[in-house]
Structure 1
Amino acid sequence: MNSAEIRQEIVVGVDPRGDWHPAVAWGADEARLRGLHLRLALSVPPRHDTQHVDDAPHHGRLEQDGRRTLEAAISWAHARWPETEITGSLLDGFPGRQLALLSRQVRLVVLGSRHLHRVEEILSSGSVAIPVTAQARCPVVVVGHPEGGGQDRPCLVVGVDGSAPSKAALALAFEEADLRGCAVHAIAVWQPPVFSLRTGDTLFHNQRRLLHETVAGWEKKYPDVRLHHEMQIGSPVEVLAEAGEHTLGIVVGRRGEGGYTGMRVGSVVHGLLHRAHCPVITVPAL
């Protein structure tokens, strides 16, 4: 999509059945930093009328509840970020689908997380974070409830593996860090293969070289952003989630392919959305 067609706004998905405050706060603060319009969007699932059941009364109640929740969220955000332009949209359709469609036109989508178990996530029509992250054309931020403390470390953790999506993630991490006045902690995680014709040392050093090549030049472009980069050995999900504890967030590229939603997200992103307690920012390839 041509950048001229992208609206200069951030969309926050408001969940009428969950705590929407963390996601709205993150989105409003981001809109303030970037000088963008903030749109709060709440989607009411469609009616399921059949020959034998009239779903109109139930759908009407959902719509009324949704409108009240959306108005409350707008009022709450206006009171705390009065300088930011904030509007609301009440949409008709499955939330995941509607927010994925909006992602084609906006700069950023912000969502809350209910931390559904994997089976619940697959079976529930209310699952939003995974399908939107999988299909979005723009970066998606998933903000979980701030369990176990706040953001003690003023930095953004970014996963680096040399791929196009991870380079896009690194670019966004530096852009965000520059806006927020924080550091970037770039981590390349090496998971030893079960079987390889090359020695472990060779593979490890190749990965380390790739890390240095990937981060080269970014400090010059963003001289006010402090960069720390390192190699770690282990599971990418566990290493990144642990490094992200009490930070401003974890930034990762989305590299999954295929028709199934979970495959399009990729195993690392999928794991982080379940494991990490800080915000997880997923970036599609440039």
Structure 2
Amino acid sequence: MDGTGIVVGSDGSASSDDAVRWAAAEAVRAGVPLRVVLAYHWRWPGRPARAEELDRFAREHAETTVARSVTVARQAEPAVAVDGVAIMGVPADVLLTSAAKAAMLVVGFKGDHGFAAALLGSVAFEVATYATCPVAVVRGRAGVATGPVVAAVDGSAAAEGVLATGFEQAARRGCDLLALRVDPPEAPVAADLAASVARWRAKYPAVRAESRLVDGHPAQVLVDASRDAQLVVVGHRGHGGFAGLLLGSVGHALLHHAECPVLVLRGAPPH
């Protein structure tokens, strides 16, 4: 990937198929290529006499599986430019390396084999923590094209990037944007939030946008919002209402219970 393409992790499971379809649609909307990556390995106690045969069997099975995933992408989005590769290695390491120069890395909620129980285990949290690009975790109502894009903002530097990406995603989807900030209704931040939204609305005039202060537990606020959304956009780490998003209970709850895909941003915010 050259910095513009999308990488999606696959293992042939139903949930990874959802991720592949979502990634294919995102690639078409963005006008970028898609690469399907499958990590595989075989384990055997000791050193078997037929190691080369086992290696060949594992590789052939992986290549067959990734070819099927490429077909899934093309069936979902015939216009997508897609290829696939099977790489021996640890799933998180393979994905991080494959997406080092990608525009986005996409993983499923859970699966079989290398990506088993991704969010309940370590793979999705690891890639969301260490990836150098945005990470989309596809879960819940992955194929829904109704509802707004929700941007979870706070007072951190990452909030502008969340808003920028939220507006961009809403513009591509032709949907509304809802900017959420967790603060008591009387908190003196409503004007700041509205001003930030207004700046990005000027760049994306076709997007209907609403800013809203919500009083409550940050995790529950985002999970509740995800029920009617088609995407939730969050920063990797913030302060205030969404403090330590992926490193604490808020991120844990969101990634386990969100009812739509979650896009986790990394890197410097756009200008």
Q: TM-score range by the shorter chain?
A: 0.7 to 0.9
Structure 2 Cα separation of the partners of residues 23 and 226 of structure 1: 27
Change (3 A) 1:207 1:65: farther
Q: Which runs of 5+ in 2 are unaligned?
A: none
**Is 2:123 the counterpart of 1:90?**
no
**Is 2:80 the counterpart of 1:74?**
no
Q: Which residue of 2 aligns with 1:266?
A: 247
Q: Which residue of 1 aligns with 2:10?
A: 14
Whichever residue aligns with residue 208 of structure 2, its letter is R
Q: Which residue of 2 aligns with 1:105?
A: 101
Structure 2 Cα separation of the partners of residues 77 and 17 of structure 1: 14
CA deviation digits over 1:213-256, x for unaligned, max 9? 43231111110000011111111111011111132111000017
Aligned length: 257
Structure 1 Cα separation of the partners of residues 66 and 172 of structure 2: 28
**Is 2:236 the counterpart of 1:237?**
no
Q: Which runs of 4+ in 1 moved over 6 A?
A: 120-123
Structure 2 Cα separation of the partners of residues 238 and 220 of structure 1: 31
Structure 2 Cα separation of the partners of residues 19 and 141 of structure 1: 13
Structural mapping, 1:217-232, within 5 Å: 217-232=199-214
Q: Which residue of 2 aligns with 1:284?
A: 266
Change (3 A) 1:64 1:223: same
Q: Which runs of 5+ in 1 are unaligned?
A: 193-200, 258-262
CA deviation digits over 1:119-138, x for unaligned, max 9? x77995xx421111111111
Structure 2 Cα separation of the partners of residues 246 and 276 of structure 1: 10
Q: Which residue of 2 aligns with 1:161?
A: 154
Displacement after TM superposition at 1:176 (Å) = 0.9
Contact kept in structure 2, 1:100 and 1:132, CA below 8 Å: yes
Quote the sequence identity (%). 32
Structure 2 Cα separation of the partners of residues 214 and 95 of structure 1: 38
Displacement after TM superposition at 1:33 (Å) = 1.1
Change (3 A) 1:83 1:100: same
Q: Which residue of 1 aligns with 2:129?
A: 134
RMSD over aligned Cα, in angstroms? 2.9
Structural mapping, 1:183-202, within 5 Å: 183-190=176-183
Change (3 A) 1:146 1:189: same
Structure 2 Cα separation of the partners of residues 242 and 82 of structure 1: 34
Determine helix, strand or coil for the equivalent of 1:205.
Answer: coil
Contact kept in structure 2, 1:159 and 1:186, CA below 8 Å: yes
Whichever residue aligns with residue 36 of structure 1, its letter is V
Determine helix, strand or coil for the equivalent of 2:207.
Answer: coil
